[in-house]
Amino acid sequence: MSFIERFTDSVGQFFEKHPNSVQLTLTAVAASALTATSIMSYQSSQRRSRARSLKDELKEAEERHIIDLTPVGTVNQGSHYNLPPIIFDDKLIEEQLSKNTALLGEEGARKVRESFVVVVGAGGVGSWAALMLMRSGVQRIRIIDFDQVTLSSLNRHAVATLEDVGTPKVRCIKNHFKEIAPFVQVEDCIDLLNADNVDELLGGNPDYVVDAIDNINTKIDLIKYCYDKKLQVISSMGAGAKADPSRIQIADISETFEDPLARAVRRKLKKMGILHGVPVAYSTEKPHHVKLLPLEEEKIEDRDEFSALPDFRARILPVLGTIPSMFGMAIATYIILRLAEYPDFNPLPIKLRDGLYIRMHRELMIRETKSFNEKICPLDARDVGYIFEEMWHGKSVISGPDDKLALTRWIKTEPLSHFNTICLTRTEANIHDKLPDSTNLEDFYGQEIYSRIVKRLDDERRIQNVWNNVL
């Protein structure tokens, strides 16, 4: 008997002896196969359905034009599509701006929403400043610039795309802003600011003016105009040839250093009688190996033809695209907090003075030893830098800025700490240290100075308690 015959005979005998088991097994196998087939068929059907739906949506998108929205968020009635109006109502606006409102408070957010800001210059700095002002809900923004989007500006412009190359920067910005916040009124002015049109371009009583102009003469004219007309202005200094983001800060023009453009602006304003009162965004990074980009040899004789306008520089500094964006966002942040009247917002005038902090720390340790017989100082140089800059803004709490400043205890009988250290001139500190322990400081310094010191020390205690709880 062959192998196949023997195998067939054995299987037949098994079926005869176990008919019920065989039936159950075959039924289970068949059911499992049927279930698997059903699941696979259902999944395949779902994939085909999703694919058809996606193709239909893509086809519809290709055939459909962009919906034209009015500044308040409704469909433009001039649109040839018979679509129901899309209302961007207050609830939607509140939701879009909810994160800002949580930080600024309802009253602060309302003040931002009701504000009007003019941005002069729509390049790397101005476009980012305008973008963040718009995203923060500033109700009305006027953007002024004569220039067009170029390929080389795409490394730093806030919204420009390849399709925008060759179009006016302000028009490009306005078109893109509609897609983000249609409830913000954006005015695009394709113009060059000058003495003939400045009254018109800066008209309307703006709450703030942003100076993001490259040309120094026009920049000076704009700042002078705002200063004379008592318009709030913040100016951008040089973002070209800079690469260190940690050096960017905001300060009064009188307190800037290491920035060649800021130095030139400061000197020109000084000749006009403007010594301070103009906040600027600038970088303390020292320019070193980076220089102006050279013109090609065949362009040198006709260099004026390669300027954007007469008297504008034809050679330019190289620009790392991230730095102008940070300048613009710093400016927008400053304006938003000022408009919202954010409490205790006072940008540090100068940073990175490690040598000064070390010297002040050394003098503080000597003072602790001589005046209070303390051998150990609980504060290090970093604490001194924080107390000096963040808490007292590098000034004597009594007399203001001075070249010879020192830190000392406020309450002589209490140990040195963040909550018991004040900034005075050295002479004031020596007098303070010699006061009898029983001296009534409120009577000695007067209500105004006493209250200012107590409030700042209490604020510092509150701030540290908040962060200690968070961490």
Q: Which of 28-42, 76-90, 368-382 ranks highest by mean pLDDT?
A: 368-382
Based on the fold, state whether residues 155 and 296 are members of the same structural domain.
yes
- Kindly tell me the burial class for residue 127, based on how many C-beta atoms sit within 10 Å of its own C-beta (0-12, 13-18, 19 or more): buried
Left if phi > 0, otherwise alpha if psi is -120 to 50, otherwise beta: which for 446? left
Q: Is residue 87 domain-resident?
A: no
Based on the fold, state whether residues 186 and 301 are members of the same structural domain.
yes
What is the number of other CB atoms lying within 10 angstroms of the CB of residue 436?
6
Q: Is residue 90 domain-resident?
A: no
Q: Is residue 321 domain-resident?
A: yes
For the chain, report the end-to-end CA distance as a whole number of angstroms.
86
State whether residue 423 is helix, strand or coil. strand
Q: Edge-to-edge strands of the sheet including 116-120?
A: 185-189, 140-144, 116-120, 208-211, 233-236, 279-283, 248-252
Question: Could you list the residue range(s) of the whole structural domain that residue 429 is in?
Answer: 354-470
Q: What is the pLDDT of residue 5?
A: 62
Q: What is the pLDDT of residue 324?
A: 95
Structure tokens at 9: 């005979």
Q: Is the pLDDT of residue 391 over 70?
A: yes
Q: Is the pLDDT of residue 292 over 90?
A: no
Q: Is residue 177 domain-resident?
A: yes
Give the pLDDT band of residue 402 (cuts 50, 70, 90).
confident
Q: What is the pLDDT of residue 127?
A: 98
Helices and strands (H and E) in the chain: how many: 15, 9
Q: Is residue 290 domain-resident?
A: yes
* Structure-model confidence comparison of residues 378 and 206, the more confident one: 206
Based on the fold, state whether residues 55 and 158 are members of the same structural domain.
no
Q: What is the pLDDT of residue 246?
A: 86
Q: What is the pLDDT of residue 24?
A: 55
pLDDT exceeding 90 applies to what percent of the chain? Answer: 57
Based on the fold, state whether residues 149 and 244 are members of the same structural domain.
yes
Q: What is the pLDDT of residue 62?
A: 45
What is the CATH classification number for the domain harbouring 321?
3.40.50.720
Based on the fold, state whether residues 11 and 108 are members of the same structural domain.
no
Q: Choose one of 308, 339, 370: the last residue of a domain.
A: 339
Integer Cα distance of 170 and 176 in angstroms: 10
Q: Is residue 412 domain-resident?
A: yes
The domain total for the chain is 3
Based on the fold, state whether residues 18 and 144 are members of the same structural domain.
no
Q: Is the pLDDT of residue 12 over 80?
A: no
Based on the fold, state whether residues 58 and 16 are members of the same structural domain.
yes
Q: Is residue 114 domain-resident?
A: yes
Strands 421-425 and 405-409: antiparallel
Give the pLDDT band of residue 263 (cuts 50, 70, 90).
confident
Q: Is residue 225 domain-resident?
A: yes
Cα dihedral 426, 428, 430, 433, rounded to 10, equals -130
- Among 292-306, 345-359, 374-388, the minimum mean pLDDT is found in 292-306
Q: Choose one of 41, 62, 83: the last residue of a domain.
A: 62
Q: What is the pLDDT of residue 19?
A: 59
Based on the fold, state whether residues 173 and 46 are members of the same structural domain.
no
Quote the strand ranges of 253-332, DSSP E.
Answer: 279-283
Q: Choose one of 339, 370, 397: the last residue of a domain.
A: 339
Based on the fold, state whether residues 327 and 360 are members of the same structural domain.
no
Integer Cα distance of 36 and 225 in angstroms: 79
How many residues are recorded in the chain?
471
Based on the fold, state whether residues 155 and 42 are members of the same structural domain.
no
Based on the fold, state whether residues 398 and 465 are members of the same structural domain.
yes
Integer Cα distance of 283 and 330 in angstroms: 11
- Among 127-136, 313-322, 402-411, the minimum mean pLDDT is found in 313-322
Based on the fold, state whether residues 256 and 326 are members of the same structural domain.
yes
Identity of the amino acid at 17: K
